Structure 1
Amino acid sequence: MMRILIGFIALAFLASCGGDDGPPPAPQGALLVFPEENSECTTGTDVNQTSSQVTFRWMASNNTDSYTLSVVNLDTNVPQNISTAATSASLTITKGTPYAWSVSSRNSVSDQVASSETWLFYNAGSQTTYAPFPAQLVHPSSGSTVQMDIANEVDLQWSGADVDNDIESYEVFFSETNPPATSVGLTNASTMELPVGVVSGTVYYWRVVTTDLEGNTSISGVFDFKVL
């Protein structure tokens, strides 16, 4: 009987002092609200002839103490970042310019960071027609190493969007030099992938030029990848 009692006491001591409560709760990604995806933002407050202040809004996410708003000028690829505990933040940005925005969620008890989706929008300017958003390169990701298929090809994939919804074509530039200067194919608005021939052990660079029915164009950033 004494041994059983000692056993119960030992178990109680271990439960109170050495129990494993598991990892701390990780934050969850926020749901974006405004500016809306692939939209023209017309509600900014004028700062001057070239800039306006836009208030970005998102939904609160679980297990989150603070958020970091990131807004990237797609013409220059220059980001603006601001941290806040609220679910909105205001930034002064350039009129008539395409932007990408996203929100990162953090908490004080976890080293994990959760990211929202990335939405594109145009900050309204004086123009009445807009160039397409620069294509967002998807695969292969920049800096990656990939395996070619049995045809000695790699499939390039991207996504595109336009406020006016009048994209006409995508032109893919692909070469071993940066920036890539060789046009390797033209696709229509509904085709956002193109296979290209590659050689093992070679580093390649690629970008996409988007053209709409008005003749407006936009140029993506440059991605690079290496073939095994």
Structure 2
Amino acid sequence: MRAIILILFGVLLIGCKKKSSPKPPEIAVLVFPNQNSECTTGRDINQTTSEVEFQWMASNHTETYELRVTNLNTNITQIISTAAISAKLTIAKGEPFSWFVRSLNTLVTETAISETWRFYNAGFQTTYAPFPAEVIFPKNGASVFKDINNEVSLEWEGADVENDIEGYELYLSPTTPPEILIASPSSNENSAKVSVTSDTTYYWKIITKDSEGNSSDSGIFTFKVI
């Protein structure tokens, strides 16, 4: 009788044991194409496109991956889902791209997003324009406070395959498109303080120039001064 009671007690313990919750996926580490590089390994499809294989490392607790590749000149994004740790896409030659990978698991709602890398897909050029500058602060659409000098610090990041950036042009105005040249920082300057007025929305952009005479436009960003 005692043995039967012990067995029943054990069954109850097993039945009541709480199952561990599924873990969210972790961030995938990107492998190729390399950050701020020229991709020369694409397989030619025709004169204007080539097939590039994107690669990343497996991430824990992940069932599938979503690869997103964006043409930085057209802002057109291609998306592909796969359970593998690589995927091939046909993309335009001689164009700048950004890419990242999202890790997913159907057992949880959380997802994990990798770093975003940028590269040029090799074409027939002998020189490349700088990558469009990436805005660091303020984030697009953000509301910010001015400092005691009625200024806001604008910050960005520039990159170039050939590492020959010569400088930047910062345009800012309360109307769009911004056409007022506020500053011309050198290549080793990635921020500038600008005078602002409270309760005003501003539009700004960065033109990046290199020693070959090439340039790129960051696109227009906006922020509001509280």
TM over 0.5: yes
TM-aligned CA deviation for residue 17 of structure 1? 3.4
* Corresponding residue of 2:36: 38
1:16 Cα deviation (Å)?
A: 4.2
Report the CA distance shift for 1:13/1:223 in structure 2 as closer, same or farther (over 3 A).
Answer: farther
State which drifts further: 61-70 or 173-182: 173-182
Are 1:145 and 2:143 counterparts? yes
Equivalent residue for 1:210, pick from 208, 211, 225: 208
- What SS is found at the alignment partner of 2:185? strand
Q: Secondary structure at the match of 1:134?
A: strand
Per-residue CA deviation, residues 149-174 of structure 1 (Å, 9 max, x unaligned), is 11111111111110111000011111
Shift of residue 223, structure 1, vs aligned partner: 1.1
For 2:69 and 2:148, how far apart are their aligned partners in 1? 40
Q: What residue identity is the alignment partner of 2:167?
A: S
Deviating 4+ runs (over 6 angstroms): none
Letter matched to residue 149 of structure 1: D
Residue 196, structure 1, aligned to residue 189, structure 2: no
Distance in 2 (alpha carbons) for counterparts of 1:79 and 1:165: 26
Amino acid at match of 1:129: T
Aligned residues: 219
Q: Which amino acid aligns with 1:95?
A: K
Looking at structure 2, the residues matched to 25 and 147 of structure 1 have their Cα atoms a distance apart, in angstroms, of: 39
Q: Calculate the TM-score normalised by the size of structure 2.
A: 0.92
CA RMSD of aligned residues (A): 1.8
Q: Structure 2 CA distance, aligned partners of 1:210 and 1:70?
A: 25
Alignment of 1:59-208 (within 5 A): 59-208=57-206
Q: What's the secondary structure of 2:118's corresponding residue? A: strand
Given the two structures, how large is their TM-score scaled by the length of structure 1? 0.91
1:50-90 CA-partner distances (Å, limit 9, x unpaired): 11110100000111111111111011111111111110011
What CA distance in whole angstroms lies between the structure 1 residues aligned with 2:169 and 2:14?
64
Are 1:17 and 2:16 an aligned pair?
A: yes
Structure 1 unmatched ranges of 5 or more: none
In 1, the alpha carbon distance for the partners of 2:150 and 2:14 equals: 59
Post-superposition Cα deviations, 1:94-137, rounded to whole Å, max 9, x if no partner, equal 10000111101111111111111011100001011111111111
Deviation at 1:181, TM superposition (A): 1.0
Q: What amino acid sits opposite 1:190 in the alignment?
A: N
Determine what percentage of the aligned residue pairs are the same residue. Answer: 53
